[in-house]
Structures are given as C-alpha cells and as structure tokens.
Amino acid sequence: MSGLHKDVKKRTFLGLLLAVLLFIVMAAVYLLLFARDPVASLSRNVMMVVTAALLVCAVLFLCGLFLAILSIVQNRNFKHLNWLTGKTLFLLYPLVVYCGRLLHIAQEKIQHSFIAVNNRLVANRTRQLKPGEVLLLLPHCLQNGSCAYKITRNADNCRRCGKCQVPELLELAHRKKIMMDIVSGGTLARQAILKYRPRAIVAVACERDLSSGILDSFPLPVYGVVNERPEGPCMNTRVDLALLEETFNTIFKV
C-alpha cells in the first residue's frame, strides 16, 4: 500500500485540522474565563453553557483526530470509533479549507491531502470484501470526447475502439467481478449507490468531485483515485490503471 498516494503529504490536512481545533479550544477557554458579563446573569449563564458545550465538542474532535493519526501510523482500524473519526474529519472539513485559504494554501492541495487521509482510513476499514460489495464509480469524461456512443448509465454501449480507457476499465471490472457505473455528476452517482447498495466504493474523479463525494457518502467508505487531466478538466481524462488495480488487489482484496 506504500505506492498509493505516496507523494501526497497527509500532514497538510491533519495539520490544518489540528490548528482549527486548537483555535476552537482556545476561544472556548477564553470565553469561559474572561468573557463573562457580571451584570446580566442570564446571558452569562447561557454563554457559559454554550461555551462549555463548544469546548466538549472540541475535545471530542481532538480525540477523533488523535484516533485518525493513530490509525494511519499503526495501520489499524478502531471499529467502534470510526463514527467519531469520520465526523471529526468531515464536519470540520469546511473550516480546514477556510483556514488553508487564510494561510494561502491552494484548495486543491488541501483536497488532495484530505483524499489521501481518507484513503488510508478506508484502507484500514475495508478488509476482504466480496467482489459484489464494491462499486467502481467512473466519470463520463474518461470517454473520448468525440465518441458518438454515450456510455453514461450504460457502459455496454462502448464499442471498444481503443481511443480511451473505457474498454480496459470494463475488462478490469469484469475480471475482478465488481460492479461498475459511469456517471456524469453527483446526482447520478447517488442514484448508482442506491441502485447497487455497495459496502464500499472506489471512485475516480478530480480532487473537487472526490472530496465532495467522500463527504456526501459518509459513513459509506469511499476510496478516491484522482484522475489525470492531460487536456484539462472534464475532457478526455485518464486514470492510472496500475494504481486502480493495486487498489483492488491490496486494499479490497478482490
């Protein structure tokens, strides 16, 4: 599994997440200790209750972050605490992106780091799934843009002319006996999930679509593979087939 996203620094997302949580804790402590109104007792009590609740949530999120780091470092899964880890990463994701913007860190870099963190956690959760329990979701932009045979919703329309990677992906799905669907956006992706009801998903897309898809699908585990865009976004994109094969062989064992 060392070859999967080996060039992506997971610490980018995790470091920003830690910074956000420390800021929340410090703000809550400050409000509890110094921002009291000695005159209005009711407003003071309400403020203290809200601040105390905020502090408790921040501590829980810190525990979730610690568990995520421990899971990554030790390559293990804390089965009964996955919900806390997932909620920590996903609920605070918008704040992490905003923090990165303030620090002039490119959003795509944060998204790539988030996907790498998520993938490592998913890899620790998914062990020995049956072939029929994994869904491969592909974007329609993998198809050659000039092809007259549209394969969205029905990949069997592919004529296997060799101008794009769709025939190879169909062969991979057939050989691994996994479900596969080609979609043009989030709505069709959600419909595919409802149709196949997988226990795990391998999704190919750009950083933005993968990040939003991972967040939308929680708690369903989604392993993200970032596509290649030699002609720019949404046009004749490609995917690293060797990485995709390694994903199924090493992580899902299908």
Place of tokens 């920590």: 88
Give the containing element (helix H, strand E) for 23. helix 11-34
- Say what the pLDDT of residue 41 is: 58
Q: How many CB atoms lie within 10 A of CB 7?
A: 6
Q: Which residue has the higher pLDDT, 65 or 43?
A: 65
Confidence at residue 48, expressed as pLDDT on a 0 to 100 scale? 77
- What average pLDDT does this structure show over 113-127? 89
> What average pLDDT score do residues 117-121 get?
93
CATH code 3.40.50 region(s) in the chain: 127-252
Q: What is the pLDDT of residues 50-103, one digit of tens each?
A: 788 888 889 999 999 999 999 988 888 888 888 899 999 999 999 999 999 999
CA-wise closest residue to 32 among 46, 50, 60, 51: 51
Check pLDDT > 90 for residue 45. no
Window from 36-45, 51-60, 195-204 with minimum mean pLDDT: 36-45
pLDDT at residue 112, rounded to an integer: 93
pLDDT, one tens digit per residue, over 1-36 is 434 445 468 889 999 999 999 998 888 888 777 665
74's tokens: 């030790």
- Quick one: CATH architecture of 127-252? 3-Layer(aba) Sandwich (3.40)
Average of per-residue pLDDT across 128-133:
80
pLDDT tens digits, 224-237: 999 999 888 888 89
The pLDDT of residue 148: 85
pLDDT of residue 39: 56
State the average pLDDT for the chain. 86
pLDDT of residue 8: 60
Question: pTM for the full model?
Answer: 0.86
Least confident segment among 36-45, 97-106, 114-123: 36-45
pLDDT at 237: 92
Alpha helices (H) along 75-106: 82-91, 93-102
- DSSP label at residue 162: S
Span 150-197, pLDDT tens digits? 888 788 888 888 889 999 999 999 998 899 999 988 888 999 999 999
Within 8 A by CB and 6+ apart from 171, the residues are: none
Q: Which residue has the higher pLDDT, 253 or 79?
A: 79
Long-range contacts of 210-213 (CB under 8 A, 24+ apart): 210/111, 210/115, 211/93, 211/111, 211/114, 211/115, 212/186, 213/137, 213/186, 213/189
